[in-house]
Every structure is written in structure tokens, then in C-alpha cells.
Amino acid sequence: MTDDVAPSGRVSRRRGRRDRAAPTGPRQKEPSRHRRPFDPVKAVSDDELEAIHHASLRVLRDIGIDLLHDGARQLLLDAGAELAPSASPERIVMDPDLVASLIATAPSEFTLHAPDPAWDQHIGGDSVVFTDVASAPNAFDVSTGRRTGRREDFRRFVKLSAVLNAVQLHGGYPVEPTDLHPSIRHLHATHDLLTLSPKGVGVYSLGRQRNLDGLEMIRIARGITEDQLEREPSANSVINASSPLRLDHPMAEGILQFSSRNQVIVFTPFTLAGAMAPVTLAGALVQQNAEALFGMALTQAVRPGAPVVYGGFTSNVDMQSGAPAFGTPEFMKAALVGGQLARRYGVPYRSSNVNAANAVDAQAGYESVFSLWGAIMGGANLVWHGAGWMEGGLQASFEKMVLDADLISMVATFLEPLVVDDASLAVEAIREVGPGGHFFGVQHTQDRYRDAFYSPMISDWRNYESWAEAGSPTALDRAGGLVEELLGQHQPPEMDPDRRAELDEFVARRVAEGGVETDF
């Protein structure tokens, strides 16, 4: 176990930073390491889990995966995989024993390092880490409405994610900064992330050079050598299978670059039951698992021991329209089984806080919490898209990001162990108050009331009359009112001036060189 994250140190650090600046704003829950205090919930029996596992192995042995990358294919062939007979020349099949021996080296837990060590995250075990939304093409706020993502929105989302204690890690770009040309987008976007936020960042696997640029910028920002970067995983990259049963070239290339340097791969098949996967949940999970095993095996073929996370993203579509759905009962069940599978293989597990709502309304609220329910009870170590995701991923919402930060903090409070000791059992306070009395005034209450309960940013508990008099604000209104206030609290993280100059210079040079050739 690698557990060098010190929550107490982190808290005092943050407190110190806040005191220095003293900007006011909504009271947030202090950052802390969240640990699940109970066992995850099983949605299928151990025998049923084995049936899913073995069906996945049959898929890998008898059907195979199209791996559209020559080098990656050769690696697996060298490791003992074979080309599928009489199929496409890219199709790889693997024996169950080979799969088992390859994934055996994947670590069960590791530390994901951030530019500011206060935001290092322990991944695995009973830890739960939340990211912000990633990869939305559109941005939304109530005053401007919905628009294609631009760098200005991107920077505001990064600042808001940086301010929100509930966001512990960046999952990618909260919104695509589409006004940055694809050849240089990764340079400016990663520079923004590293100069606006102290938290760990992700790199998109869109070709070798982008991966190398991203890793180099993270190395510079952390002020470490390449050797240290290789010892200390500091970047994450989500790798999606192109379900069903295909791994595209840039995704495979990302695994080569990241795993060879001991950086974190979050391997996530995109298995929507009824569309890219079987309409039966068990079948969709078989396919998810086959693809995940394949991806994890590739990381270990590249470098045994490279950190990899099992990503579960199985949901269903609306069978009338084909529209993807999230936070459904089917999503919840798949989230539980995904966790069972990840634990079977002894690797960390990623799920998501997702919904398909178009507005921050009751649907957004219930689908999100259903997702969180599945993720948390399923034992997720990483909850991707934790804050700000809307519309099945097509929209990043400023208001939803604030609201989700509140939801995450509620979940984190729920995960805190319930204290049972003489003082909390409160028999003496019960005696003091006695039948028919009231607890407001007693010392037991006075000593504890300030921090006794989670104090939400959004929830409005006023009585109806006061609330109506205040203009009947909805949760969306209240979240909207906090966005600017929270953004006003943003301060760029401290960075050593030499590192900053090196980072600026790197970006300027690479931009001057034209960035990377655009292949799209």
C-alpha cells in the first residue's frame, strides 16, 4: 500500500491558504480523504460473477478484439496473444491464462500525484476520489445559455473546479476549448490547468506527441525529473474502447506512452446496452469486462505494474429513440457489478456521476444521486464527471458543478464514520433534558452544534412563507447565485517562478513549432 497522503496536513495547508487570502464565500466542507466505511454491495452472487468473468474470457479467446495499432498488437503477440484465424488482420485473441498472467501485475492501489502535494490522491482500497466533468462540447450557465465550449468557459470551469473542495482531481477538460486550434489546444489547455489549479490533471490520448507534451508540462509544473515522474504517477488518461471490441490507434498509443512511463490509465469501455453492447445487462457487462481485461492486459504488457483503473460505464439507451440514458436502475446495477469485477481482479474501480437531463431540474437531481448511489455502493474509487456533467455528457454546466459539489460533500459526509462513544451516546444529555424537554439549550448541544451536521451550500430549508417571500428560488437559482461568488474566491496556485518560466517557455516554443499535426 502506498499511502502518503496526509489529510491533516492537507487541511492545515488549505486553511493557511484561505487565511492569507480571506476571500469570503459559501462555506465549503474542508478537503479530506474520503474512505468508504462499509463493504460494497453485491448485485450478483459470486457464482454469477464467475459466469460473467468466464463469458468475458470466451469473448477474448473465441471472438477477439480489433487492435488498430501495429506496435501494440506486436507487443501482445510477443506476450503470447494470437491473431484471430480468418478474421481482420488486426484482430487479437487471448487465452484465459495469458489474460490472467498479464493482469496479475496491475497494482491494487497507488498514489496519483498532483502539482500541489496537498491534492495528491490515494487511488484504490476504500478511498473515494471525485473529479470534475470532462470533455463536454458545450458550456451552459443560466445567464448566457448554452453555447459551444470556448477557452474563456474552459478557464472559468477550471477556476471553479479549483475553488470547489469537492473536486479532488481533474478528469480532462471540463469543456472543450474549441476556439483553440486542435494543433495547439492541448498546450494552452494544459497550461491553463496547471497554472489555474493545484489539482492533478489529465491528458487526452490523441496521438503520441500530445501525450508527450502533456507529460512534459506536468513534469515541469511539479519541478521533478523524468525519473521521479516515472516513480510517481502524476497524470491520468481515460482510454475508451470503441465498443464493441475495438481499440483505436490513438487510444492504444496512449496506453503505450502512459503505461511505459508508469502513468495512470483509466480504461473505460463505452458499453451502452442495446446499442454498442448487448441489450441484456449481463451481456453488456460481459462485453465491458472483456474490453476492460484487454485494455488492462495491454497496460501490463507494456510495463508490468503500471497503474491502471477498471472503468465501468455500462448504461442503457432509450429503446424508443436510441438516446443514451444515465442514472437509471440499469446503470446502478451495472455500477455494482463493475465494482465486483474490479475487486475480483484487484484493481481500483472507476464509476461516474452522470445524468441525461437537459436542465438542472428534479431529473438532474435524481439521476445524479442514483448514479452516485450505484458508484458509492459499488465501491468506486474514482467517481469521474463528479461535478458539472449534464445532458449525457454534451453539456458542462456551471450551476450543476456547484450543485454537484454540494452532492459530493453530502456523500463524503455520509461516508464519515458515525462516532459511537460515551459522549456521543449522550445518555447524560438525555437525562438532563428529560421527558418533554428540548435539546437546543443544553451544554451537550452548545458544545457541538456548529459542526454537528453538514451545512449545504444549495439546499433551502426555510419555511414556505419565507422562501416564497424571497422569490421562490429553486436549487438552480441558488446554485447560479453562487457561481460568481465562488469564482471570486479563485487564486492561482503558487508556482515556483523558475518552473513557471520553464512552463511558459515550453508552451511558447511548442506553439511556435505549430504544435502537433492535426489528424482531424
CA dist., res. 386 & res. 129, Å (int): 9
Cell of 260: 511505459
3-state secondary structure (DSSP) of residue 399: helix
Residue number, 228 or 467, with CB nearest to a copy of itself: 467
CB of 274 to a copy of itself, least distance (A): 6
The reply to whether omega before 307 is within 30° of 0 (cis) is no
Residue number, 306 or 458, with CB nearest to a copy of itself: 458
Largest CA distance in the chain: 82
Residue number, 456 or 515, with CB nearest to a copy of itself: 456
Residue number, 138 or 195, with CB nearest to a copy of itself: 138
**Alpha helix (H) residue ranges in 59-177:** 70-79, 96-103, 151-163
Residue number, 165 or 373, with CB nearest to a copy of itself: 373
Residue number, 108 or 358, with CB nearest to a copy of itself: 358
CB 174 within 8 A of CB 388: yes
Residue number, 93 or 162, with CB nearest to a copy of itself: 93
Q: Which amino acid is at 339?
A: G
CB of 288 to a copy of itself, least distance (A): 11
Residue number, 48 or 230, with CB nearest to a copy of itself: 48
CB of 381 to a copy of itself, least distance (A): 18
Tabulate helix, strand, coil % of the chain (nearest 5). Answer: 45, 15, 40
CB of 477 to a copy of itself, least distance (A): 9
- What string of DSSP letters covers 313-336? --EEE-TTT--EE-SSHHHHHHHH
CB of 4 to a copy of itself, least distance (A): 28
Neighbouring C-beta atoms of residue 78, cutoff 10 Å: 9
CB of 87 to a copy of itself, least distance (A): 8
3-state secondary structure 273-321: ECCCECCCHHHHHHHHHHHHHHHHHHHHHHCCCCCEEEECCCEEECCCC
CA dist., res. 4 & res. 2, Å (int): 6
CA dist., res. 398 & res. 491, Å (int): 18
CB of 401 to a copy of itself, least distance (A): 13
Residue number, 189 or 376, with CB nearest to a copy of itself: 376
CB of 237 to a copy of itself, least distance (A): 22
CB 368 within 8 A of CB 402: no
CB of 54 to a copy of itself, least distance (A): 9
Neighbouring C-beta atoms of residue 451, cutoff 10 Å: 7
CA dist., res. 230 & res. 69, Å (int): 24
